[in-house]
A and B are shown apart, each in its own frame.
Chain A
């Protein structure tokens, strides 16, 4: 019985479409969508104190720092990638995708039958970033498992990790289907000092993780 309970507590954090067999290569053109509004910083005051950035600009500055670093890292792995402005996803319907029994990923996805292009570029794939959350000692269960959504978050004074939680969808732009949907959690150990370099490192790790998931293949 306990074994059973223990087993159910670990969730599956990604969903793969049956037609995503090949995995994408680094030469594939990818449109990056959703980066302008995906960033969320929790415990802003904590970060503001550590990074010595005034409170009124902490969101803006960390957003720029992390997302631009994320995009740069992404482009290193996928040189053909290009950033699309958030305006392309303005009319997309918001939907929930099921990753596991109680894990749902909510985000905007392009409509069926409509191919997305921007400035005459029509990439075969879209990388749609739904959320990029930065905080301290976070657990993705509390954000994406609806059975645990009502739990109150205890803010601890001692911080062990800086956490990044990303949710994204790899979209087949030509056939309009979600090839890969996933929630990534990055835990970066924290001891006493926080630098901007550390935050850059987190976005690097996130890209590395995403790259790993992209090249995952289904065994037929």
Chain B
């Protein structure tokens, strides 16, 4: 007996579920405190407005205090009467929204003037209830559903509410908000460039000689060796003292505004060995001698976004910036060796050098968040040029590294925040 009851219940649900059919369903808004207008050309109303409203409140907690009534204006109007009759004849399964479009300009105007009211059209056909939902600004119904028909008004209200009004309700807009929204450009037009923020780490290489330039430009500097801890041919460029080729690591973060102008803060690190003259016996006491270069700076970035594929945004850019360079000396003597006089009086670099850098690169942003960054440029560091040389300039000691230029290239991985 119990089994039969379960089977019966199961069958009931199966029938109930299969009875509901969605002909088509496009997006429509469910308004909070909605105005629901029931429109029919049938002689009897399938659901009473009161019951429908109670069902709505029962089924959708977010709908607030809906108001339901029969749409008398449309039931009496000759324009809507024609379309209503036509709908009654033409509502059928296997149709698209376009097949049910209202063609008469007067009818379209009436639908457009609905504002934020929702119209549900009901018609009963062979024990089924056809429901079409209309919203402003659309000549065809937003959705058409074929629902089971029942004489029980409460049940019918629940069926309709379940089929059409289950989603979360949105707040109704005020008159001013509606006006503003109507004047807003559509989503396709509104595609202004996004603001990007990013953080990244990069690894690359730095060297003094620019590719495709003659070797002779650098020959003197690169061939130079430090004798007796301080003597070189020339002291203008630091490349006379230290190796120029070195791996370059950097971390950075930046942001662009309107996809065009941006700024990037960066920190770069590279380690350069001192170029000692190995033939000089003085260095026999020396274990290691190198300079760690730390650079911090900010650059101004000009970029342009290209939406190359659905998953990829390309953003080529050019940058110009300034930086401070710090050379941190690391030196050590062999164990148990006393430092020589030359060691004690070895060259000292300036505490800080100031320089500029410029270059170009491109960001490749995958899936809006994951970026690759290829960047190349030229950087300089030298003495502070913001004070005039004093009258005693000639007697002042020469500044080591008055102008040190290198080029660099690096590849970075980045994380993006794409903020609207």
Binding site for B on A (CB under 8 A): 17-19, 93, 95, 109, 111-114, 174-177
Contact = CB atoms under 8 A, between A and B. Distances in A.
Contacts, number: 37
B86 A113 contact: yes
B95 A112 contact: no
Given A177-B90, A177-B99, A93 B105 contact: yes
Interface of B: 81-86, 89-90, 92, 94-95, 99, 102-105, 107
26 contacts: A17-B99, A18-B95, A93-B103, A93-B105, A95-B103, A109-B103, A111-B103, A111-B104, A112-B83, A112-B86, A112-B102, A112-B103, A112-B104, A113-B83, A113-B84, A113-B85, A113-B86, A114-B82, A174-B89, A175-B86, A175-B89, A175-B90, A176-B86, A176-B89, A177-B90, A177-B99
B81 A113 contact: yes
Given A17-B99, A113-B85, A175-B86, 13 more contacts: A18-B94, A18-B95, A19-B92, A93-B104, A95-B103, A111-B82, A111-B103, A112-B107, A113-B82, A113-B84, A175-B89, A176-B86, A177-B99
B102 to A, nearest CB: 7
A220 to B, nearest CB: 9
A85 B84 CA distance: 29
Contacts of A174: 89
Nearest to A21: B94
Contacts of B82: 111-114
A137 B94 CA distance: 40
Nearest to B89: A175
A112 B88 CA distance: 11
Contacts of B95: 18
Nearest to A218: B94
Query: 6 closest Cβ contacts across the A-B interface?
Result: A113-B82, A112-B86, A113-B86, A18-B94, A175-B89, A113-B85
Contacts of B103: 93, 95, 109, 111-112
A159 to B, nearest CB: 40
Nearest to A220: B94
Contacts of B84: 113
Nearest to B85: A113
A69 to B, nearest CB: 33
Contacts of A177: 90, 99
Contacts of A112: 82-83, 86, 102-104, 107
A124 B86 CA distance: 15
